Amino acid sequence: MSEKSDAQRKGALYELIPHLFDEEWVGHHNDNLLYVGARESRIDYGTELREAGYQITILEIYPPNVVALKNTVKWAEIVEGDVRSPPFGSDSFDVIFWWHGPEHIEIDELEGALVELEKMATHAVVLGCPWSTYCQGDLEGNPHECHVAHLEGPELKEMGYSICQTGTRGEPGSNIAAVKFVSPE
């Protein structure tokens, strides 16, 4: 991802949820964050979220990624599981951050997955995904890295999310950032 794309994506996050990386805001809440989907080589905004003060739990579906994360990411709790049926029971998180993950599940499963995440969030669910069609197959043997959904934005709006699109639709680096607040503040 180019520096310009990264700056645009971060700008979209600040526009939609200005206090996401705010240490003072985080410090006045339970400060726990669920980060959905990660691999050792890609935990977007992990440093910024940690520096803001969140206690981070990572939910990852691919067993080799879980092992690698447990061996190297000592600043987060690592849990193996599927976002479509999260293994947390009645646990809750202030913020759920699913950055560049919604495109990895079938579109007809997305609403159900988001409903489950919204039940666990006490403040907001934050999403990021490519804007429109961006083909990607498995990475390093991980079949869960395939892009199987191609989001445009209106489908997220219909589910109650505010969105910000950056880049050029369908081009590498384009992005939809989306936030749904489940409680005011």
Per domain, the residue ranges of the chain are 3-181
Enter the tokens of residue 173: 């680096």
Amino acid residing at 123: H
Q: pLDDT tens, position by position, for the chain (185 residues)?
A: 577 778 898 999 999 999 999 999 998 887 999 999 998 888 989 999 999 999 999 999 899 999 999 999 999 999 999 999 999 987 899 999 999 889 878 889 999 999 999 999 999 999 998 887 665 556 577 666 666 667 788 999 999 999 999 988 888 888 899 999 997 65
**Rounded distance, CA 94 to CA 167, Å?**
29
Helix (H) or strand (E) holding 34: strand 32-36
Cβ(61)–Cβ(82) below 8 Å: yes
Q: What is the CATH number of domain 3-181?
A: 3.40.50.150
Enter the tokens of residue 95: 């913020």
pTM of the predicted model, to two decimals?
0.90
